[in-house]
Structure 1
Amino acid sequence: MKFTRKPQDGSEIKMEKMVKWVQGSSPIHLICDFRNYQKYLSSVRRRRNSVIYVNCRPRKEKRAHKKKEEKIKMAVSGEEFDVIVVGAGVMGSSTAYQVSKRGHKVLLLEQFDFLHQRGSSHGESRTIRATYPEEYYYPMVMESYKLWEEAESHIGYKVYFKAQQFDMGSSDDKCLREVIATCQKHSIPHEILDRQQVSDKFSGRFDIPDNWVGVCTSNGGVIKPTKAVSMFQTLAIQNGTVLRDYMEVEDIRKDGVKGGVWVYTSNGEKFWGKKCVVTVGAWTTKLVKTVSGIDLPIQPLETMVCYWRIKEGHEDKYAIGGDFPTFASYGEPYIYGTPSLEFPGLIKVAVHGGYPCDPDKRPWGPGMALGTLKQWVEERLSSLVDSGGPVATQLCMYSMTPDEDFVIDFLGGEFGKDVVVGGGFSGHGFKMSPVVGRILSDLVLTGEAKGIELKHFRIGRFEENPKGNFKEFLHYVM
């Protein structure tokens, strides 16, 4: 492993000693000095021929009132916090960052290792778009664009890469018609294209039927998931948040004496918080049922992401940063994709949906039926993309509600407004994680969220209608 410093003039200098302040340009962030160099090396997973670039400030001269060296903060059983966040995926990490930057003492608990791959917050790409059939997501996405860039400016590296967004489908598809209505209502600049215009705009890279239309906007892009979670966790740590992994929360109980709640873990530890936020993804139904008896209809689904090979000599035409868009194909099934980013020469094209699973007993890869997806790639992309089958796949999970809308609400009952739940993000929430973190922070700190209407995300909607919010258009989940 080689360590390299990048001075302001852009040259590279091998580091002869570790400096005291380090802010990494990668997801690895450290505070250490040369005396701990060997200890540091032994604590980092070794990777051959890897280079970690770090931006370094020179060591300041010793002063009489030099501050003590920073130490990693560790919560001890029984310790008290202003807010305890349960679940350190992207929603929990974003919430911890938002709460801590307002000056509150925060504990972030994770049942597995940090940045694990057993939930919904890992991987190399997620799409972001403002073209939603449900217009109430529009303000959430637009605020998220700003919050992504704000967080990037604080951390010093990028997790969000801009692109066009291209939506396509039959001209009479209800979802696509609602997308166009959203564009018109919110004055989103957009183009509505027929088959020939689509072919001309994208130089033959898309081929749609004569009875289809395409809708092109500039509000698209790709987010790096694992790197984004690391960013929020790092910013939270910088604000004083305490992080503990391998802390599976078994129960949350109301403190009837002094108020607040006690959070109990499977290894026998407990922590007190004035407030608590539950963001445990596919485990939401299990934990909420244990804590409150409420049976939330959030179904974990195992899904598979597929990567397809771009034909030789055409790789640059699909690369992020060019004119190739993130895209969505409305119909049955709903298919989406991204430009080439994480794996050069491969394009991501996948089906929105999956098969029901128990998050603790996942099948881990029986695979989804690829026939329909292969046919779609053959018919829409095959001029420059090999449609013979995906050359790489990755597994992930959705936490699906019946209406595919989020759950963002107070748990209520004996907990009142002391416990807030964020879950059921249904395979399309990652892009909005910055604003979800802001909303959950507002709820837990002030009792209300500013600027966003939350009636569509109430827990109580499933009591009124087991299918949740009424929608005229179909959902395309297996």
Structure 2
Amino acid sequence: MSQSYDVIVVGAGVVGSSTAYNLVQHGAGKVLLLEQFSSLHTRGSSHGGSRITRRAYNKPFYVHMMDEAYRMWDQIEREGKTKLYTNTGILVFGPRTSPDLKKTIASLHINEVEHEVLTAEEAMLRYPHQLDLPFDHKCVFERDGGTLLATKAVSVIQRLFTEGGGELLDGHRVKEIAPGPIVRVTTNNGDFTTRRLVVTAGPWAPTIMAQLGVKLPFKFSIRRAEVFYWRVEHPELYSADTFPSVILYDDTHHPFYAMPICEYPGLVKICPYATVCVDPDSRDEQISPRVEDIQPYVAKYFKGVSTTPSIYEACIITKTPDEHPIIDRHPGHSNIVFGAGFSGHGFKLSPVMGKLLCELAMDLPPSHDLTPFRLDRFNKHSSKL
């Protein structure tokens, strides 16, 4: 006999966990959060020591959403009695001609976010022992940028969800979903029914969407993200007190990001955005880390950093063609909601993304404009936002 719930959320990464947390906060009734692996696993996109958080976005609507995200992270920290956010500031730089850098500066200006535009020389005067920038580069520094503790944040959100009356079941891989006024979810460990379903399954969400008959004119980009940690000669120069988070834009959009020492003693995190396509069920099979994608940037831009990484880790990124997530209903079943393709935005914005998915599931007015995230934007050829 199946167990019945008011809402079921499939996928307990940071967005799914935030959705479930928001549902219990909004009094959605009996809420179940299903996870196919063990809780806080390392197979998806939400694990690890840290993620960058920032308002320095090249799209104004993300900058606006981050205002609420910071408030919600503060609430989660207070309720969970756990520090998750460290304010390091963020430095975004690239050639003066970089369109993304220009858009980032414009977005900050439109949203009246405090920031500084610096020449390469001014940035190097600020970080003389860490950075070596070409003089044709330009920078923008945003004070509120920083880091979030990734796995710890998911853990705190899940704890707040269960303390609020929600139920989390891990080791439940979804085998079939039968839509209808009452949705039946069949897993390897039992069946469940619900009036409303939210799918936030990370790199597995496209498969579930296809099984539910959602036809999209594109394929999600599912890639392995390479995460490298590099030893530094003087750790005090790369601490969260002395070094900001960093993003580089160049002709290839943004080839790397860096974060100060916050996970492993004496190791700074510098990672490429360039990654290889993978099957999420066999992420690490017969694939060697592509350290050559990042080594030239480490040698060119950073001082006192080893040219060989000390630690390698991996996760999965899932993106749509326009790199904005999907937050929308099933076109034929209004009681099924999808959240997919969050990589690049999902972690820092997860409290807000979870709130929007909660609002959709509960038929509440959305607290932000959902136009950039709707399913039909690709059919309308409206991806240039």
| Same fold (TM > 0.5) | yes
Q: CA deviation at 1:80?
A: 1.5
Q: Does 1:263 align with 2:185?
A: yes
The answer for the alignment partner of 1:469 in structure 2 is: 383
Q: What letter corresponds to residue 80 of structure 1 in structure 2?
A: S
Alignment of 1:67-466 (within 5 A): 77-103=1-27, 104-255=29-180, 259-267=181-189, 269-295=190-216, 297-311=219-233, 314-320=234-240, 322-331=241-250, 332=252, 333-364=254-285, 366-381=287-302, 383-386=303-306, 388-413=307-332, 415-416=333-334, 418-450=335-367, 452-465=368-381
The SS at the match of 1:446 is: coil
Post-superposition CA distance 1:378-417 (Å, at most 9, x none): 1111x2222x22111101100121111111111121x12x
Residue 262 of structure 1: how far off its partner (Å): 1.5
Contact 1:307 1:347 in 2 (8 A): yes
SS in 2 for 1:100: helix
* C-alpha separation in 1, matches of 2:77 and 2:213: 37
Give, as a single letter, the amino acid of the residue that structure 2 aligns with 1:94: S
Measure the CA separation in 1 of the matches of 2:9 and 2:293.
40
Structure 1 CA distance, aligned partners of 2:108 and 2:17?
Answer: 31
Deviation at 1:353, TM superposition (A): 3.4
Amino acid at match of 1:90: V
Aligned amino acid, residue 322 of structure 2: D
Structure 2: runs of 5+ lacking an equivalent: none
TM-score by length of 1: 0.77
CA distance in 2, matches of 1:217, 1:102: 33
CA offset digits 1:154-178 (Å, max 9, x no partner): 1111111111110000001000000
Task: Report the alpha carbon displacement of residue 251 of structure 1 after superposing the two structures with TM.
Answer: 2.2
Cα separation, 2, equivalents of 1:356 and 1:122: 19
Q: Is the 8 A contact 2:182 2:195 kept in 1?
A: yes
TM-superposed deviation, 1:138 = 1.0
Deviations 1:172-217 (A, max 9, x none): 1000000110121111121111122111111331111111011111
Q: Contact conserved, 1:164 with 1:218, CA < 8 A, in 2?
A: yes
Decide whether the 8 Å contact of 1:364 with 1:395 is kept in 2.
no
Cα 1:359–1:253, aligned 2, differ >3 Å: closer, same or farther? same
Q: Percent identity?
A: 34
- The alpha carbon displacement at 1:372 in A equals 4.2
SS in 2 for 1:330: strand
Amino acid at match of 1:97: Y
Larger radius of gyration: 1
Q: Which amino acid aligns with 2:262?
A: L
Residues 401-454 of structure 1, C-alpha deviations (whole Å, 9 max, x = no match): 1111111111121x12x011011013332111111111111111124312x111
Inter-partner Cα distance in structure 1 for 2:293 and 2:226:
14
1:354 Cα deviation after fit = 1.3
Question: What displacement does 1:359 show?
Answer: 0.9
Q: Residue type matched to 1:327 in 2? A: V
Q: Would you say the 8 A contact 1:127–1:220 is kept in 2?
A: yes
Q: Which runs of 5+ in 1 are unaligned?
A: 1-76, 472-478
Q: 1:265 to 1:404 in 2, by over 3 A?
A: same
- The 3-state SS of whatever aligns with 1:464 is coil
SS class of match (1:324): coil
Does the aligned pair in 2 maintain the 1:365–1:395 contact within 8 Å?
A: no
Secondary structure of the 1:199 match is helix
Specify which structure has the bigger relative contact order, considering alpha-carbon pairs within 8 angstroms and separated by 6 or more residues: 2
Residues matched between the structures, number:
381
For residues 95 and 260 of structure 1, the distance between their equivalents in structure 2, rounded to whole angstroms, comes to 20
Q: Secondary structure at the match of 1:412?
A: coil
Normalization by structure 2: what TM-score?
0.95
Q: CA RMSD in A?
A: 1.6
Segments of 4+ in structure 1 off by > 6 A? Answer: none
